[in-house]
Amino acid sequence: MIRKILIANRGEIALRIVRACRELGIQTMAVYSEADEQSLHVQLADEAICIGPASGAESYLRADRILSAAEIGDVDAIHPGYGFLSENSEFAEQCESCNIIFIGPRSETIMKMGDKAKARETVAKAGVPIIPGSDGPLENEHAATKVAQKIGFPVIIKAVAGGGGRGMRIAHNAVTFAKEFQSARLEAVKAFGNGELYVEKYLESPRHIEFQVLADMHGNMVHLGERDCSVQRRHQKVIEESPSPFLDKNLRNRMGKAALKATQAADYVNAGTIEFLVDAKGNFYFIEMNTRIQVEHAVTEEATGIDLIKEQIQIASGNRLGFTQKDISLTKHAIECRICAENPSKGFIPSPGEIELYSAPGGHGVRVDSHAYGGYTVSPYYDSMISKVITFGRTRKIALDRMYRALSEYLIRGIDTNVDFLKAVLMDPAFRQGEATTSYIEEFLARMPKDFLDKQSKD
């Protein structure tokens, strides 16, 4: 049985894992960088150990230091959270060879699904629809142009090792293709140390709808319904909700079945997410699998009543899933807004600094997952997300009205945030009617008066 877990992460997700462990009676060990000494995850974990300077590359990404900390702490397991080392198959393998349980899938599964071109091939073989595109990574620009011409423009050029919306380029014709291909390659090398690229047909204004799955070591697997993550900025999610206002029962069943097929094809164990793009007619296509817990997992938790972090730990302990597909339903509507320290009036640039005054929303149907507090300094070294506000209720309308109310209560002084921008989206009729696609924010901003963003920075 797992007695003690090292949390190889920071911020709200580290705190979220500490909380789940507390409820399960499991000891926790936090790791932290010099910039995070005052962080809540450090204060709330049973033990904490510093693993290096502020830069992620020198701390949270240092597998050697984390494994040394694990040895010092005599832990049984490591939870990687999201980002950092969570999808690093070498790290998972190192944990396995040190006899430390990696709370996630096996290292070979991470490798198989982490290569997005290989993942496409794996699920396509199992009969899951994929977007027309290249078979595997493209040798060079010449081969890529041929594929692009065959599938027809516009196309999207993507990094095989991609993530976080980086390394993606859209090409509308053969003339711009070469330039986009080159810049995608440069960005992929810089961001992922791997310049391999593949090409897909670019879908115009699809919806991003993903399925949460859980699979145990005994061959049992379930999906926990979908999350609609269409509200994105630069291919990065901003607002997520479950259920999707777009899916009906029939489409949910068909997509859920496809998600389970993909999970099975990956020979998957633990929590994962199967991401799809869905066109206006309801045709859906696999885009990738995330082999870790997602930022937006909380909306599934509130919609289904299932604690995903506890499930991850139970699965990693070798336990069987305590439910079957028929026990799972989306009984509530849940929505999440990502609160970021950023300045909408300056192109959403990060706005790190000291939070002078902080008061989070509360009340019925409101959950706030955050590591922020008054006096806390948001570091420029990490992601600008400082909080996730999740609201839920019997209907979508209740959840949305509650979100607007909750955001109106948020007091954050000293840094700029996107709270007012999110409130404006929540009041927008197109969003409220469930019409948002992945082009939504761009279209929304185009509809707004010129000085709209200037008025959206809050201090």
Supply the minimum distance, in Å, between the C-beta of residue 280 and ligand ADP: 13
Supply the minimum distance, in Å, between the C-beta of residue 335 and ligand ADP: 18
- DSSP structure string for 376-438: PEEPTTS-SEEEEEEEEESSHHHHHHHHHHHHHH-EEESS-BSHHHHHHHHH-HHHHTT---T
Rule CB under 6 A: choose which of 132, 136, 163, 353 binds ligand ADP.
Answer: 163
Phi-psi map region of 448: left, alpha, beta (phi>0 left; psi -120 to 50 alpha): beta
Instruction: Pick the closer one to ligand ADP by CB: 30 or 231.
Output: 231
Instruction: Pick the closer one to ligand ADP by CB: 288 or 302.
Output: 288
Q: Is residue 162 a contact residue for ligand ADP (CB under 6 A)?
A: yes
Which among 252, 292, 338, 367 is annotated as catalytic?
A: 292
Q: Is residue 206 a contact residue for ligand ADP (CB under 6 A)?
A: yes
Rule CB under 6 A: choose which of 169, 185, 208, 333 binds ligand ADP.
Answer: 208
Rule CB under 6 A: choose which of 53, 127, 129, 165 binds ligand ADP.
Answer: 165
Instruction: Pick the closer one to ligand ADP by CB: 116 or 402.
Output: 116
Q: Is 55 in a helix, a strand, or coil?
A: coil
Rule CB under 6 A: choose which of 12, 115, 216, 275 binds ligand ADP.
Answer: 275
Instruction: Pick the closer one to ligand ADP by CB: 285 or 421.
Output: 285
Cβ pair 225, 210 in contact under 8 A: no
Q: Is residue 203 a contact residue for ligand ADP (CB under 6 A)?
A: yes
292 is catalytic: yes
Rule CB under 6 A: choose which of 131, 259, 385, 425 binds ligand ADP.
Answer: 131
- DSSP structure string for 222-266: EEEEEEEEEEEETTEEEEEEES-TT--HHHHHHHHHHHHHHHHHT
The site for ligand ADP, by CB under 6 A, has a size of 18
Rule CB under 6 A: choose which of 127, 129, 164, 380 binds ligand ADP.
Answer: 164
β partners of residue 7: 30, 79
As a whole number of angstroms, the distance between CA 197 and CA 202 comes to: 15
Give 320's contacts (C-beta < 8 A, 6+ positions apart). Answer: 216, 218, 220
Q: Is residue 225 a contact residue for ligand ADP (CB under 6 A)?
A: no
Instruction: Pick the closer one to ligand ADP by CB: 232 or 417.
Output: 232
For the stretch 189-195, contacts whose Cβ atoms lie closer than 8 Å and that sit 24 or more positions apart, written own/partner, are: 191/159, 191/162, 191/166, 191/167, 192/159, 192/161, 192/162, 192/163, 192/166, 192/167, 193/161, 194/159, 194/160, 194/161, 195/159
Supply the minimum distance, in Å, between the C-beta of residue 278 and ligand ADP: 11
Rule CB under 6 A: choose which of 76, 87, 196, 200 binds ligand ADP.
Answer: 200
Q: Is residue 115 a contact residue for ligand ADP (CB under 6 A)?
A: no
Instruction: Pick the closer one to ligand ADP by CB: 154 or 374.
Output: 154
Q: State residue 438 phi and psi, 5-degree precision.
A: -70, -10
The residue among 138, 161, 158 whose CA lies nearest residue 89 is 161
Supply the minimum distance, in Å, between the C-beta of residue 334 and ligand ADP: 19
- Reported residue count of the chain is 459
The residues that are catalytic are 292
Residue ranges binding ligand ADP (CB under 6 A): 131, 156, 162-165, 200, 202-203, 206, 208, 232, 235, 275, 277, 287-288, 438
